[in-house]
Structure 1
Amino acid sequence: MDNVQKSLLSGLAGAVALTLLHETVRRFVPEAPRADILGMRAIAKGFEAADKELPDEDTLHQMALGGDLVSNTLYYSLVGLSKGKDTLLFGSALGALAGVGALTLPGPLKLGEAPTNRTRETMAMTIAWYLLGGVVAAGTYELLDEEFA
């Protein structure tokens, strides 16, 4: 297995872990981050800019989750740039940076700040969950690196 494949599989593992966490906890914890809402708003802006009819809410939600999985897979796959050196540290930095981005970018992008910033608990969960995605990606990369070395 080459480095690109290991990187993409690792990125997918991190993205799936993050999405499963988001989708599970948001159903039970009112303060949970709502990255899905940010994704839905971003997609809706695209439809509006293209002067197209907006899909129903369920379809929009599915599109947002799919977009999250793809974009987070590609982002977390950057863990392969570590080339097996300090992979856990590199993955953790990627995750923490993504968490900070999830807190700081929605406002300037006019997607609203509440989905990730409404309470201190929401902000802490946002950073922690993206960090977890980075750690999962790094751990997966290390496992694949050992398995296919």
Structure 2
Amino acid sequence: MGKLTNLISGLAGAVVLNILHESLKNKDSGMPRIDRMGEEALQKSLGYLGTGIEDQHNLYLATLAGDIAGNAVYYSLIGGRNSLIWPKAITLGLAAGIGAVTLPKPMGLDPKPIARNEKATALTIAYYLTGALATAAVLKLFNKHL
């Protein structure tokens, strides 16, 4: 499988992750808010450059675009040898989810939007795993038809 196939598959997984999060984030107050974590990270990064995004809607859109692009590239790493796609998807999906809930605090970010309770923590990990599994499924479809 080529790099373009891997990237397209990674994009599919990133879109699944974001649709899942966006669809459920307002279901109740215990849901993970990955968007808020991303907004804080983006504003903090831009702050180091002496700038920021004032408009909340533009901040949301920039964060969403960055999240999809970053996750697409990350999930594209699942591609490669066909026999390893599922183990790589599970490993990378769990690594992304666990990293999402454990790394914010050491990075100077507020972990509460995604790890404020057991439900949010578990769902955050599940979302990232689901995106990785979606990537693997698309890779398998490409492999079947190429």
Quote the sequence identity (%). 35
- Aligned equivalent of 1:131: 129
Instruction: List aligned pairs for 1:52-71, cutoff 5 A.
Output: 52-71=51-70
**Structure 1 CA distance, aligned partners of 2:53 and 2:136?**
37
Q: Could you tell me the TM-score, scaled by structure 2's length? A: 0.95
Instruction: List aligned pairs for 1:136-147, cutoff 5 A.
Output: 136-147=134-145
**Structure 2 CA distance, aligned partners of 1:6 and 1:98?**
21
**Structure 2 CA distance, aligned partners of 1:53 and 1:100?**
28
Structure 2, unaligned runs of 5 or more = none
| Aligned pairs, number | 146
- 1:86: how far off? 2.9
Match 1:87 to one of 81, 85, 88: 85
Match 1:116 to one of 114, 117, 131: 114
- Checking the alignment, whether the CA contact within 8 Å between 1:99 and 1:129 is kept in structure 2 is yes
Structure 1, unaligned runs of 5 or more = none
The worse-fitting range, judged by mean Cα deviation, of 85-94 and 14-23 is 85-94
Map Cα deviations across residues 5-48 of structure 1 (whole Å, 9 max, x no partner).
11001100110000001111002132111111111111111222
- Aligned equivalent of 1:73: 72
- Checking the alignment, whether the CA contact within 8 Å between 2:97 and 2:124 is kept in structure 1 is yes
What's the Cα RMSD here? 1.1
Instruction: List aligned pairs for 1:11-22, cutoff 5 A.
Output: 11-22=10-21
Q: Could you tell me the TM-score, scaled by structure 1's length? A: 0.93
Runs of 4+ residues deviating >6 angstroms: none
The worse-fitting range, judged by mean Cα deviation, of 39-48 and 9-18 is 39-48
Residues 1:50 and 2:49 aligned together? yes
- Checking the alignment, whether the CA contact within 8 Å between 1:6 and 1:145 is kept in structure 2 is no
